[in-house]
Chain A
Amino acid sequence: AQSVAQPEDQVNVAEGNPLTVKCTYSVSGNPYLFWYVQYPNRGLQFLLKYITGDNLVKGSYGFEAEFNKSQTSFHLKKPSALVSDSALYFCAVRDRNSGAGSYQLTFGKGTKLSVIP
């Protein structure tokens, strides 16, 4: 079975400071990894994904994420946080291997990011 853990329910960061939102995953094979953001009363917006290749993935709105296979992590980062980045962030995984349940996206519980002016 595949699973995702986002160890922090909330992350607070000052505007202009770097931000990190943590994600670790568990799959039987190799993963496809995704980050989504959700603003209040909105659906999820796709930010970036890791498929293969370079471990540092760049995405929308200046976000990037680093895939670390040995630590089974895929942390989301941004060099300089904006107040408008305040939202709920979700990490998600799919197992590349076939098998029951491997197609569905499995999400973490989400991390609420608050950027303080």
Chain B
Amino acid sequence: KAGVTQTPRYLIKTRGQQVTLSCSPISGHRSVSWYQQTPGQGLQFLFEYFSETQRNKGNFPGRFSGRQFSNSRSEMNVSTLELGDSALYLCASSLSRDKSYEQYFGPGTRLTVT
């Protein structure tokens, strides 16, 4: 089975712009979560989608949003980019919402805001 794929792998944007990141989960996986990874804050949960519905949201401003499509693919959007949004954005998929199930991570999208 193919793993979790994320596109693009690298992005450079300017402050004030917006960006959309894409994630394709492992085939058959219906739960998709997004995380932000920075050297200072570590891994922080952004949100989780299941059956095209946002089920959980982390402590991030409304500039961060996402959605999930009927084929379980997910996108996240960041509007009005700030320098502090520079980070590795990781997508993870899981077979179900059962808490005992592990998540499988994609390689990430490295976003640099200048």
The distance from the CB of A29 to the nearest CB of chain B, in whole angstroms, is: 11
Find out whether the CB atom of A104 lies under 8 angstroms from the CB atom of B102.
Answer: no
B58 — which chain A residues lie within 8 A by C-beta? 104
Find out whether the CB atom of B105 lies under 8 angstroms from the CB atom of A103.
Answer: no
Indicate the size class of the contact surface on chain B.
Answer: 20 to 34
Interface centre among B4, B33, B45, B90 (most CB of A within 10 A): B45
B64 at the interface (CB under 8 A from A): no
* Candidates B43, B56, B99; contact of A96 at CB < 8 Å: B99
B103 — which chain A residues lie within 8 A by C-beta? 46, 105
A102 — which chain B residues lie within 8 A by C-beta? 99
B55 at the interface (CB under 8 A from A): yes
B48 — which chain A residues lie within 8 A by C-beta? 103-104
* Candidates A36, A43, A90, A103; contact of B55 at CB < 8 Å: A103
Find out whether the CB atom of A107 lies under 8 angstroms from the CB atom of B56.
Answer: no
Interface centre among A49, A90, A106, A107 (most CB of B within 10 A): A107
**Chain B interfacial positions (CB closer than 8 Å to A):** 4, 33, 42-43, 45, 48, 55-56, 58, 90, 92, 97, 99-100, 102-108
**Contacts A44-B90, A104-B45 supplied; 9 other A-B pairs, CB < 8 Å:** A32-B99, A42-B107, A43-B108, A90-B43, A103-B97, A107-B42, A107-B43, A109-B42, A110-B42
Q: 8 nearest interchain CB pairs? A: A43-B105, A107-B43, A44-B105, A104-B45, A109-B42, A43-B107, A46-B102, A51-B100
Q: List 25 A-B contacts (CB under 8 A).
A: A32-B100, A34-B102, A41-B107, A42-B108, A43-B4, A43-B90, A43-B105, A43-B106, A43-B107, A43-B108, A44-B90, A44-B92, A44-B105, A46-B105, A49-B102, A51-B100, A103-B99, A104-B33, A104-B48, A104-B56, A105-B45, A107-B43, A109-B42, A110-B42, A110-B43
